[in-house]
Copies of this chain bind each other. A is one copy, B any other.
Amino acid sequence: MAVSDGLAIGALAQRTGLAVSAIRYYEAQGLISPWRNAGGQRRYQRADIRRLSFVMIAQQFGLTLPEIREVLSGLPGNRTPTPKDWQEISKGLRAHLDQRIDTLTRLRDNLDGCIGCGCLSLPKCALYNPDDRAKSNGSGPRYLMGDSPEA
């Protein structure tokens, strides 16, 4: 198979460390768009290795797949992304991460206060109803401290 024919899904899986099934799933989610060869098999560009790597890194940072798709849409569609293109959209990740760290740090500081006062379970506790509550990752509780209880 010549280089210009692109990578088969198994090869891409090896290069990225992802499972073949995961790559197909990402396609279904609109994160990557291979073409098909004469026999109907998926073929990928070498640049897709980088694309999937970005997906994996963004996941580590807590983005959902729809969010990642959104970020990736900032890449040029008409040409292979340059390193500069990648650096550009990585800045969005950086901001996202800064915010997460910020939120967690504030939660931690509130916990310090609560350890001091032992007020757990009271509505006046800063932890109990923080405005900047951590966005629940994935399928967390639906009603996480949503309504202000009376006591």
Contact = CB atoms under 8 A, between A and B. Distances in A.
How many copies of this chain sit in the oligomeric assembly? 2
Most buried by B among A98, A115, A139: A115
Contact of A143 (B18, B136, B138): B18
A150 interface: yes
Given A97-B104, A147-B17, A86 B120 contact: yes
B151 A60 contact: no
Given A14-B150, A94-B112, A57 B87 contact: no
A141 interface: yes
Interface residues of A, number: 61
A contacts with B: majority SS:
helix
A16 to B, nearest CB: 6
B56 A144 contact: yes
Nearest to A117: B83
A118 B81 CA distance: 11
B59 A120 contact: no
A133 B111 CA distance: 25
11 contacts: A16-B149, A17-B145, A17-B147, A17-B149, A22-B142, A50-B121, A59-B136, A94-B108, A101-B108, A137-B138, A139-B139
Interface of A: 14-19, 22, 49-50, 52-54, 56-57, 59-62, 83-84, 86-87, 90-91, 93-94, 97-98, 100-101, 104-105, 107-108, 111-112, 114-115, 118, 120-121, 127-128, 133-134, 136-151
